[in-house]
Structure 1
Amino acid sequence: MSLKRYLLNHETNHAMKKTALLLLIFLFGILCTALSQERVLFFQTNWGNQLSWDEFCKKAKASGFDGIDIWLPNNKESQQDLKEALAKYDLKLNLMHGTVKGIPLAESLKKYETRLEELMQWNPVLINSHTGSDFFSYEDNLKFIAIGNKLSKKYNIPVYHETHRGRFSYSMTETLKYLDKAKELPLTLDMSHWMVVHESLLQNQPDRWDTIIDNVHHIHARVGFQEGPQVNDPEAPEWKNALKAHIDIWERIIKKGLKEHQGVFTVTSEFGPPSYMPTAPYTRMPLGDQWKANVFVMNALKQRLGIQ
């Protein structure tokens, strides 16, 4: 081989290696970008809140939450204060909604649709619905679900139907019946309710969980147990198994949801105040700290998911 040909081949091989290296760097960059764009957004509930909107939003932001999850106040002045606080602290908004159960069905359906239209005007990230009733017929509950789906499509804002005692979705088995027949039933999973209903941590229901998880798009993160919807302190060692049972399911849902929702998934930390929070007799003093519990469950999920 002549020196000229040798040098030419050497330069060609070097150029090919350089091109391959640049391609690998480019592909690695795309992968890193995609991974960095995956986000789990955490929302703090205002359930039982006694602070002003400004104080509440300031505290939520300082605690590491991306937004708040609330029942919208009817008072116009309070609504304006809420808007200002959301903008001031750069927080996102989830809104709560629900079926009014103690009135005639036709009136309840109308109220459900009218209020849902009003909530849509706030352009929330999502609307979480306490839908229907465990005393309504299957057909009547489907009417509420249909309204939610219709307005969700109209405004391009998700309406998720929460698994909740007292609603159509009060148990795992009952919810599966709706999933079997309903064409579209996007869920918020609050599995703490089901643990009470079934008196079980539900760790031996893999096939049922597979079906449920396929339809979950938002999580209400509260740790329940076989005899109650809320432990007194999720950090306490006696609740280690209950905490793990919840986080195991939440992790599966979030990893699936990140793929389905363009790299974004939402979680609301939803430990409640007294008397949902267990209390001492006579004094009714809470046995735990609601805010601390909500921050803890957010951080426990972040740790499991490897989120900084």
Structure 2
Amino acid sequence: MKLLLFKQRWGHEGTFADAAKQVLDAGFHGIEGPLPTDPTERAEFISVLRDNDLRYIAEISTTGYATPDPGSTVDDHLEAFKRILDSSLEAEPLFFSSMAGNDLWVFRDSVRFLTEAYEIVQDRGVRLGFETHRSRTLFHPVITRELLKEAPPIEMTLDFSHWCVVTERLVLDQLPDVLDLCAERALHIQPRIGYDQGPQVPDPRAPEYSEAVEAHLRWWKHVWAGQRARGFDTITMTPEFGPDGYLHLEPYTQKPVANLWELNSWTGHLLQKEFQQWAQQPSA
């Protein structure tokens, strides 16, 4: 097996060429994020990907970005899902990842959305992971478990950091059945490190957050083992420490407590080291 690491477009303030240079300098393999909607920017982005031989994971947000538009219906989300997926095919993504649905829907509406979105994915002949994201359909581990019993066999993009803050604890240590289910459905992993009071520790290098780092490493390795058992020859991960309230800032000055790209590149290099050691172990 091999590990492919991606840089997230979210939080990048430079040019597409700058992003590509960071990817290559860090030993990463591609970029994840939404395809630009502006035709000129879109063409430039695709050109940068191809010129630098970078892989691409296309991101779909069904209304809004991290949070859904207020009052948006299942039909609104399905329309956005289909439209963005179809328009992103131009960039020939490796696969898709989607912040989809709405945590305020009743259970039957969430089942309907996942069922019809899955049918769209199957019809296009592509692969897509539905993300475990706050404010979205898979926002809570127990609700996700119940939804997966009713919905078709969707694949998932796992960002366990959201579940840590939603439940105010390193929750998957208490839900081994949900962790097993995640390992059975995982397509992709977004390895941000969450803790009981937030989706992003201020700095994963700091010793006071070692418990959270170790917990996430345990969970990711469990998922890797599940993917290996399912025949995956490649693991994909996008370190996703981000801005917009995730990155901690000093009061008054608003000075960031850490450099965003340093956090993501450090996480990527930690994953490379851990993956190499894990991959040398005999298969379960």
Residue of structure 1 in register with 2:110 after alignment: 141
1:272 aligns with 2:242: yes
Q: Comparing 105-114 with 79-88, which one deviates more in the overlay?
A: 105-114
- Map 1:140-289 → 2, pairs under 5 A: 140-202=109-171, 203-289=173-259
Q: For the residues of structure 2 that align with 1:91 and 1:67, how far apart are their CA atoms?
A: 5
Return the letter of the residue paired with 2:199: P
Measured after TM superposition, the shift of residue 82 of structure 1 is 0.7
Deviation per residue, 1:151-204 (Å, 9 max, x gap): 322333211100011011111111011112222121111000010111111223
1:63 aligns with 2:33: no
Alpha carbons 1:126, 1:158 under 8 Å: kept: yes
Alpha carbons 2:36, 2:45 under 8 Å: kept: no
Alignment: residue pair count: 271
Deviation per residue, 1:28-86 (Å, 9 max, x gap): xxxxxxxxxx2111111011211111111111111111110011111111111111111
TM-score (norm 1): 0.83
Q: For the residues of structure 1 that align with 2:111 and 2:86, how far apart are their CA atoms?
A: 18
Q: For the residues of structure 2 that align with 1:116 and 1:96, how far apart are their CA atoms?
A: 8
Residue of structure 1 in register with 2:66 after alignment: none
Residue of structure 2 in register with 1:72 after alignment: 35
CA RMSD of aligned residues (A): 1.7
TM-score (norm 2): 0.90
Deviation per residue, 1:266-302 (Å, 9 max, x gap): 1111010252101100111111111111111111112
Distance 1:151 1:105, change over 3 A: closer
Q: For the residues of structure 1 that align with 2:76 and 2:193, how far apart are their CA atoms?
A: 35
Alpha carbons 2:6, 2:31 under 8 Å: kept: yes
1:92 aligns with 2:92: no
Q: For the residues of structure 2 that align with 1:237 and 1:127, how far apart are their CA atoms?
A: 35
Measured after TM superposition, the shift of residue 142 of structure 1 is 2.7
Between structure 1 and structure 2, the one with the greater Rg is 1
Measured after TM superposition, the shift of residue 106 of structure 1 is 2.8
Alpha carbons 2:115, 2:151 under 8 Å: kept: no
Query: Secondary structure in 2 aligned to 1:248?
Result: helix
User: Higher relative contact order at CA 8 Å, sep ≥6: structure 1 or structure 2?
Assistant: 2
Q: For the residues of structure 1 that align with 2:109 and 2:61, how far apart are their CA atoms?
A: 14
Query: Could you tell me the percent identity over the aligned residues?
Result: 28
Q: For the residues of structure 2 that align with 1:92 and 1:222, how far apart are their CA atoms?
A: 20
Alpha carbons 2:33, 2:58 under 8 Å: kept: yes
Structure 2, unaligned stretches of length 5 or more? 64-68, 280-284
Return the letter of the residue paired with 1:91: L
Q: Comparing 106-115 with 74-83, which one deviates more in the overlay?
A: 106-115
